[in-house]
Amino acid sequence: MPAERLSMRKVREVLRLKYACRVSERVIARSLGVGRTAIGEYIRRAAVVGITWPIPVELDDTALERKLFAPAGYNPPSSKPLPDWNRIHAARNRAIRRPAHRDAIQSCTAWSGECRASRLDRHARTERSASAGIRNPSQ
């Protein structure tokens, strides 16, 4: 569960101490009674959106909070395209219904949707047959 956010008054104090007074994060954390990593995170967030001291007057507490923290439910777009799940499921279902060969398995690559048949190695077939009580005819 995430920790509770600092009040915007304390966030403003963090930025003032960091940029106007040139105080270290450790000293800021001690003076405000907050963890050093939390102070570093607030300073990092402010640097990402380009806020330093003095904070522009048009930024009230709600506008500052909106700039520093993404709104609830905001998910940035993923960098990878999602796979075509319908194509993958169709290929998998085809492989299950119609195996390419009795000693072959169908493998599908999730991201490209390419399917290929690959043979089981002889050792695995022999082992499986022996455990089922079937004699391997190639022996």
From first to last of its 139 residues, the chain has per-residue pLDDT tens of 567 888 999 999 999 999 999 999 999 999 999 999 999 999 999 998 889 888 888 889 988 888 888 665 566 666 777 888 898 888 888 776 665 555 455 555 555 555 555 554 545 555 555 555 555 555 5
CA-to-CA separations, 72 to 26, 37, 75, 90, 98, in angstroms, rounded = 30, 22, 9, 36, 47
DSSP secondary structure code for residue 18 in this structure: I
**Which residue in this structure is represented by tokens 């920790």?**
3
> Can you state the angle between helices 61-68 and 36-49, rounded to 10 degrees?
90
User: How far is the C-alpha of 137 from the C-alpha of 139, rounded, in Å?
Assistant: 6
What pLDDT shows up at residue 90?
85
Res 101: pLDDT: 53
pLDDT of residue 127: 55
| Dist. CA 106–CA 92, nearest whole Å | 8
Cα–Cα distance, 26 to 28 (Å, whole number): 5
Using an 8 Å Cβ cutoff, are 14 and 42 in contact? yes
pLDDT of residue 77: 66
Is the entire prediction scored with pTM above 0.75? Answer: no
- C-alpha–C-alpha distance, residues 70 and 48, integer Å: 12
CB 42 within 8 A of CB 6: yes
pLDDT score recorded for residue 35: 92
Q: Please give the pLDDT value at position 129.
A: 53
